[in-house]
Structure 1
Amino acid sequence: MTLTTTLILLGAAVAVMVFCGWRGARAPDPFKGPRMIPWRFLMIGAAAAAMLLLIHLATLFGAARAPWV
């Protein structure tokens, strides 16, 4: 992937992570019924994707594995 694609995907992953964190932190409303979307699980998934994209971004800028690994 190119740098532009990585940055766009990283921005989207962070936006999804923030949105899902906001929705997951809201107080439950018993009159509306149970929540049908697992917001916290989606937030963790978006955070994992953002972490992988940050690692890919570091490799694009020249970071390499340690020689003893």
Structure 2
Amino acid sequence: MDMIPTLIAAATTTALTVLFGWLGARPSNPAKGPRMAPWRPLMMATAVATMLLAAHALNLLGFKTGDPRY
């Protein structure tokens, strides 16, 4: 994947991480019933995807990430 699609995907996953964090931090409303979406695990999954995309962008810029033996 080239740099532009990587940055677009990183921006998208960052925005989703913030959105899911905000939705997960809202107080529960027992009158409306239980929340049916697991916002916190979704936030963590998109945060991991953001970190992986950041490492990929650094590799595209020429920085070496990962095990130095390879």
TM class, shorter-length: over 0.9
Q: State the TM-score, normalizing by the size of structure 2.
A: 0.92
Gaps of 5+ in 2: none
| Cα distance, 1:12 vs structure 2 | 0.2
1:11-26 residue pairs with structure 2 within 5 A? 11-26=11-26
Gaps of 5+ in 1: none
Distance 2:24 2:68 in 1: 42
Q: State the TM-score, normalizing by the size of structure 1.
A: 0.93
Distance 2:10 2:41 in 1: 18
Distance 2:31 2:56 in 1: 44
**Aligned twin of 1:8:** 8
Identity %: 45
RMSD between aligned residues: 1.3
